[in-house]
Amino acid sequence: MRRRTLLGAAGLAALAAPVLAGAPAFAGTGGFTAATATRDTTGAYRLAWACGAARVTVTATTDPYATTGVAVGSGAGTGTLDVPAGALPAATRWYFRLVADGGDALVVADRSLGFASARNFRDLGGYRTTDGHWVRTGLAYRSNTLASLSDGEQAALTALGITRDVDLRNVQERHDDPDRIPPGVTYQVADVEDLTHGVGFHDGAVLTLVEAVALGLLGGTGNLGQRVAYPFLVDFTGADRAYRGLLTALAGEPGATVFHCSSGKDRTGWGSAVLLSLLGVPRATVEADYLASNTYLGNPTAVELSWLRAAFDEADSLYGSVDGYLRQGLALDDATIGALRTKFLA
């Protein structure tokens, strides 16, 4: 029913092995209110953080669960640290462990993996929630198509501990451009446009379409078709099955998961927004992650905020809230929601 600094040479031997499934959770992170790691085109890193401690010590590691690594420097409780290009040896990915003098620790990394064939391949971790938790880095990745991964990029998936690939594309897209993934990665189809179980909508399709067109015209959009399509990510029962499959897989997979569509911005964008919302990430941060596809894809008009908001509006209209959408539309039970929060929140 519609309800309307300097790197010391010593310590390189302490670098950890690749990510291990079932590794222990990170230490408490309550002292950090902000933290980022960004890598520029030269390979240099800029680290920035804020916490109530007097001092923060930083180590670099190739394993987000390692408690030791390469000392790269320290700074004040609120500060920045630069790691010059070439200061760290080549690795699939570098993580930075920030340890406050009070004992709180937080792991951050540059979100992008820098894949030439999948420019929108990026980590969904490293975001702070409204209640002070952090989404763990290195467990969930969003991407555009994986059909052209090079041998080196496939090897990187293995090194990152990725054990599941969830494909949100339709049958024609999967046929024309099948994923290239390494052995040991489980392939799962979660077709958002799947018609094999019939065509069903939670509200009349015509009503949803008319309202979407009207709101798109009134609000203005650079792509009316996209603006109209987003409410159907919530209203179409086939999409429910796909996103339920995605979230259930994320909850139960012992290793890391990558999920994707073709461009990694629309179907993947909504899946990412739903996961981050479930974890308690503020809406403004969710929207910023969504809009980041414009940067990663090198197209300032790849996505538009009104499209994402149209999907959230549809969830509110049909179910009263995102939580209602999760429990009624996607039929997620308490155990699955609890497992997601336990797995992804530090």
Question: pLDDT tens-digit profile of 128-182?
Answer: 999 999 999 999 999 999 999 999 999 999 999 999 999 999 999 999 999 999 9
Q: What is the percentage of the chain residues whose pLDDT exceeds 90?
A: 80
Q: Residues 319-323: contacts with CB within 8 Å, 24+ apart?
A: 319/3, 320/3, 322/274, 322/277, 322/278
Q: Which residue has the higher pLDDT, 57 or 15?
A: 57
Looking at the DSSP bridge assignments, the partners of residue 135 are 345
- Confidence category of residue 308, pLDDT binned at 50, 70, 90: very high
Residues 56-76, mean pLDDT to the nearest whole number:
96
Residues 39-46, mean pLDDT to the nearest whole number:
97
Bridge-based pairing state of the strands 162-167 and 122-123: unpaired
DSSP 206: H
Sign of torsion over alpha carbons 254, 256, 258, 259: positive
Judge contact between 336 and 248, C-beta under 8 A: yes
Among 99-103, 143-147, 216-220, which range has the highest average pLDDT? 143-147
Sign of torsion over alpha carbons 163, 147, 140, 47: positive
Alpha-carbon separation of residue 101 from 11, 56, 79, 223 (angstroms): 20, 6, 14, 50
**Integer Cα distance of 257 and 19 in angstroms:** 13
And the tokens for 157?
């998936």
Q: Which residue from 39, 2, 12, 34 is spatially nearest to 317, judged by alpha carbons?
A: 2
Residue 94 confidence (pLDDT) above 80: yes
**Integer Cα distance of 308 and 274 in angstroms:** 11
Looking at the DSSP bridge assignments, the partners of residue 127 are none
Q: pLDDT tens across 284-293, in order?
A: 999 999 999 9
- Confidence category of residue 16, pLDDT binned at 50, 70, 90: very low
Residue 28 confidence (pLDDT) above 70: no
Query: What are the sequence ranges of the domains in the chain?
Result: 5-110, 112-346
Residues 215-224, mean pLDDT to the nearest whole number:
58
And the tokens for 88?
């760290």
**Integer Cα distance of 155 and 21 in angstroms:** 17
- The conformational region for residue 184 under phi > 0 = left, psi -120 to 50 = alpha, else beta, is left
* DSSP codes of every residue in 149-214: --HHHHHHHHHTTEEEEEE---HHHHHHS-----TTPEEEE--TT--TT---BSS-HHHHHHHHHH
Q: Which residue has the higher pLDDT, 291 or 229?
A: 291
**Integer Cα distance of 203 and 267 in angstroms:** 20
Q: Which residue has the higher pLDDT, 191 or 1?
A: 191
Q: CA angle at residue 314 from 311 to 317, to 5 degrees?
A: 155
> Can you give the pLDDT at residue 205?
57
> Can you give the pLDDT at residue 215?
54
The domain 5-110 is placed in CATH, from the list 2.60.40, 3.30.310, 1.10.150, 2.40.50, at: 2.60.40
Judge contact between 154 and 181, C-beta under 8 A: yes
Judge contact between 72 and 58, C-beta under 8 A: yes
The maximal CA–CA distance of the chain, rounded, in angstroms, is 66
| Architecture of the domain made up of 112-346 | Alpha-Beta Complex (3.90)
Secondary structure (3-state) at 210: helix
Judge contact between 9 and 67, C-beta under 8 A: no
